[in-house]
Structure 1
């Protein structure tokens, strides 16, 4: 912008013959501090100001004296084509503006400049606001004090707040999980992070704001990806279903041959390759008519299924010389058209053997399906919870019940039984679920640091302390849940402070002088006998009763063997996905794992399944793959009295039948019989059906 655009045109002027009295009158009437002096041709020859008037008064000069005798002839001036920025650098209140011939064309005041710059800044602010509000991404900025200074329209729409409601307020009070405060504190910018704000899932980038090399705040640009997350979840579901389908197809002992409605081959499994000797690369994508003409098949059951639109079984020869019994089944769409023909193939020479194997596979598939359905139903509510036994169902029922109140909970049980999962479950269903769940392992932190970790510390509390002090776990868990794991390891001196925190609902930082109010629910856990420890003076009795308001005992895995098979399925699927493999496990191996005592409980079982998935070279994990101490436990030492020689297989079946019948006769319940026999309840049901008991 140029001077000519904002100057005052046709300004009030004086000539050098005007008297100082006239000048004073003009200054008074027009309320100006000075005026340029021009000659007859309107050329600038000087400037006369109030300062000259005051000098005249001071020296006692007459009002009739001409202005020309007192005016300043060495005048600072500016041309009309100069920029406002250059004019601002001339520190004069009233600046004459002249043309190239020194003719007076206007007056530029500091007020004119301020108003022009203000107008420009308002225009820039308006344009910037328009740009920010035109963005589809939410934009939030805070100053170094954590106060919100920018909140655009997209942020209003995504987060459900109006800008006027939040501007100037602390970001931690409005949206505590933006991460902007952390960026300020660490100085590390973050990109591509996901955050949850209410029902919204947003992808955010967090940056620092600098001006003239000085940190002024931080900002976040975020995009609502809630719909994208839903699509991603659906894709993951489809992906998992495909993996399950692949696993099922490959685990079936029958050969499977799949064509579309035009008899083009689209899938065969490895069992079909093994039975027939035909490789997938020979037939995939090819039509059955072409394959029959080449002599790969003597006839195709697929064409008969397409013609009759029903299941058809045929006996036919293949190029390897084997005779195969094939059964084709049509798959219809909603319009009643055949879209797939699924053919199962069986080697006639091994039909009896396959029939027995099929029965076992069917039993195992039903078992897996039952367990998988159980896992799915549980996963709808808690992804990480896998239970089937009545004991654990009662534990989780209690956890869900106590989660709805705010009582203090003490979880006991051996190492590895899942005490932390119980704590997380209680937190998830409680009114504090939107708050943090802070875990402190009292046995993993040195005694000299544990107090500072729990209660925090003030500036200079001890050597090595942060200069700004630090919040403790109690403060971090405010409005949430504090989970004190291995509470039996807490030193006696800290037990006193913990008891006070529970009773008074307040804490004092290490080195502090003022109490801090807290509002955290306490859940503690231990694998020790706290009641015995109180008798031995190793644990305060008053603290024990304060913690043990609602006790929850988690039984060891050996007391809930019904959970072993679902846990095996869960961990097997988890590590198959993690290591991108497709391992399965034999029923004999599952029974051996069910019979093992698991002194390390669920954690030991999880570690073993991971080791088996990683170390087993074959796709099927068999009994031989298990560690020796588990196989020995499975084999056991039974004193059985033998009266005559019979085939070994027949003898084993007879002993098995007698044991199952005796257990059922004595206890009348498949669950109780399974418990005393050391197997799962589905195993007892299968044996009962097998022997017709």
Structure 2
């Protein structure tokens, strides 16, 4: 199909950007509908007139004079009373200049986009500032057990006392350790983490203490510094200490006592100046009873024990935790997405057996699949949606047994269910009270209220 003359006009009329065409003598011969609409100028009012009479300093006149295009040109048009952003190109016939065509952008649109870009830049700077702030702020909580744990960490951070962090996998033990390090006098020195469970036992000793050249087949020329040596002056974070073999435990105990160590295959003593923070999800006392953990090492490590509650026992904190995690992920991926209240509610109803690590992974997955400015239910993994739907249906079924069920009835049913659930998963009532984060008096008042024996 061959384009006819009227097709070219149709193309110009289809553009959303204003177009104006002038002849070499500055006579205006064409404006498109977008020009009339955006600048409120009827075509009959302007076509046939000389541009230089309407706008004597028009940038189009310069193109007519020089025959050179002006690309991305910004100027104030007095007759239109606004700034415009335009591409002005000469029209030539067999190399002879016959006029010029201008395609404009309303500068207000450009300004709006620039303002939006500036807003995202400010948001990015705000997020960067949050990342650089006091690490303890990431551990803020409304739950008494968590508040107590953070307070202890703050108090001991300025000392060199050995700390051991107890908690399930994924509760944020390394975040605690980093916060303690950052608040200490060693903050400008290395923070060296090592997961004792991730390194094979036959390599753990050389990783911790380093080795001398020729100490074993395949050893590096000149030897290698161990993690203890790399951490000198700073903090060594030993995660999953319950997984160490008895042999490594004995060597670590000696190092802690004497503050001196030797590389594998060497005799030269190296002095040790590190702050040791440990972590475990195991019950070390039970391991001692089974002969799997040295009692003397336990007392060396268990100087300041800090117990970190699992996420299911601090659901009040979930919105704040989500906000912190999501801000970091948005900064990482440069993809701002907001979270509506109904999405928060679904995430709160889930028990998070993988704790904060699982929550972080889920948020990262949600951000990756979401292509909208805010999250929707479909962005949440199906297994979490299923748990939330089951929980809601269960509450509704129980509460709907009464006619004209009030909000108070629903809340009481939820509270009673939670009491029974926590008591069933606690060794005694004292532990249940701690998990619920309420006073002993309130706890027993609620037992009486709901007839729980």
Same fold (TM over 0.5): yes
Inter-partner Cα distance in structure 1 for 2:172 and 2:254? 29
Which residue pairs with 2:327 in the alignment?
573
RMSD across aligned C-alpha pairs, in angstroms?
A: 3.3
Inter-partner Cα distance in structure 2 for 1:383 and 1:543? 28
Structure number with the bigger relative contact order (C-alpha 8 A, sep ≥ 6) is 2
2:198 to 423, 441, 444: 444
Shift of 1:520: 1.2
Which residue pairs with 2:165 in the alignment?
411
1:583 and 1:620 in contact (8 A); partners too: yes
1:457 and 1:511 in contact (8 A); partners too: yes
Matched, 1:640 2:380: no
* SS of match in other structure, 2:203: helix
Q: 1:559 to 1:664 in 2, by over 3 A?
A: closer
Which residue pairs with 1:256 in the alignment?
none
Shift of 1:423: 0.8
Shift of 1:386: 4.6
1:387 to 140, 145, 151: 140
Q: 1:497 to 1:617 in 2, by over 3 A?
A: same
Shift of 1:657: 4.5
Matched, 1:611 2:365: yes
1:488 and 1:528 in contact (8 A); partners too: yes
2:278 and 2:301 in contact (8 A); partners too: yes
Q: How does 1:451-600 map to 2 (within 5 A)?
A: 451-600=205-354
Which residue pairs with 1:659 in the alignment?
410
Inter-partner Cα distance in structure 1 for 2:132 and 2:226? 34
Q: How does 1:337-352 map to 2 (within 5 A)?
A: none
Shift of 1:515: 2.3
TM-score by length of 1: 0.39
CA deviation vs aligned residue, 1:359-416 (integer Å, no higher than 9, x gap): xxxxxxxxxxxxxx9x988964228725332333322221111111111111110111
Q: How does 1:662-681 map to 2 (within 5 A)?
A: none
Structure 1 unaligned spans of 5+: 1-281, 292-372, 645-650, 666-674, 677-693
Inter-partner Cα distance in structure 1 for 2:263 and 2:320? 46
Inter-partner Cα distance in structure 2 for 1:642 and 1:430? 57
Shift of 1:545: 0.9
Shift of 1:616: 2.7
Structure 2 unaligned spans of 5+: 1-33, 42-125, 417-434, 437-453
Inter-partner Cα distance in structure 1 for 2:402 and 2:210? 75
* SS of match in other structure, 2:224: coil
* SS of match in other structure, 2:219: coil
Inter-partner Cα distance in structure 1 for 2:134 and 2:264? 41
Inter-partner Cα distance in structure 2 for 1:386 and 1:522? 21
| Higher radius of gyration, 1 or 2 | 1
Shift of 1:421: 0.9
Q: 1:578 to 1:551 in 2, by over 3 A?
A: same
Inter-partner Cα distance in structure 1 for 2:297 and 2:135? 32
CA deviation vs aligned residue, 1:6-35 (integer Å, no higher than 9, x gap): xxxxxxxxxxxxxxxxxxxxxxxxxxxxxx
Q: 1:455 to 1:661 in 2, by over 3 A?
A: closer
Q: 1:662 to 1:615 in 2, by over 3 A?
A: closer
Q: 1:518 to 1:377 in 2, by over 3 A?
A: closer
* SS of match in other structure, 1:525: strand
Inter-partner Cα distance in structure 2 for 1:419 and 1:518? 24
TM-score by length of 2: 0.59
Shift of 1:457: 1.1
Shift of 1:435: 1.8
Shift of 1:427: 1.0
Q: 1:377 to 1:394 in 2, by over 3 A?
A: farther
* SS of match in other structure, 1:620: coil
Q: 1:579 to 1:473 in 2, by over 3 A?
A: closer
Inter-partner Cα distance in structure 1 for 2:410 and 2:129? 34
Residues paired across the two proteins, number: 295
CA deviation vs aligned residue, 1:259-283 (integer Å, no higher than 9, x gap): xxxxxxxxxxxxxxxxxxxxxxx99
Q: How does 1:235-250 map to 2 (within 5 A)?
A: none
Structure that is richer in helix per residue:
2
1:386 and 1:566 in contact (8 A); partners too: no
Inter-partner Cα distance in structure 2 for 1:591 and 1:401? 34
Inter-partner Cα distance in structure 1 for 2:129 and 2:407? 33
Matched, 1:435 2:189: yes
Inter-partner Cα distance in structure 2 for 1:586 and 1:395? 31
Inter-partner Cα distance in structure 2 for 1:396 and 1:494? 30
* SS of match in other structure, 1:585: coil
Shift of 1:659: 3.0
* SS of match in other structure, 1:544: helix
Shift of 1:586: 2.1
* SS of match in other structure, 2:204: helix
* SS of match in other structure, 2:225: coil
1:596 and 1:634 in contact (8 A); partners too: yes
Shift of 1:560: 0.8
CA deviation vs aligned residue, 1:84-117 (integer Å, no higher than 9, x gap): xxxxxxxxxxxxxxxxxxxxxxxxxxxxxxxxxx
Which residue pairs with 1:220 in the alignment?
none
Which residue pairs with 1:130 in the alignment?
none
Q: How does 1:145-160 map to 2 (within 5 A)?
A: none
* SS of match in other structure, 2:135: coil
Which residue pairs with 2:30 in the alignment?
none
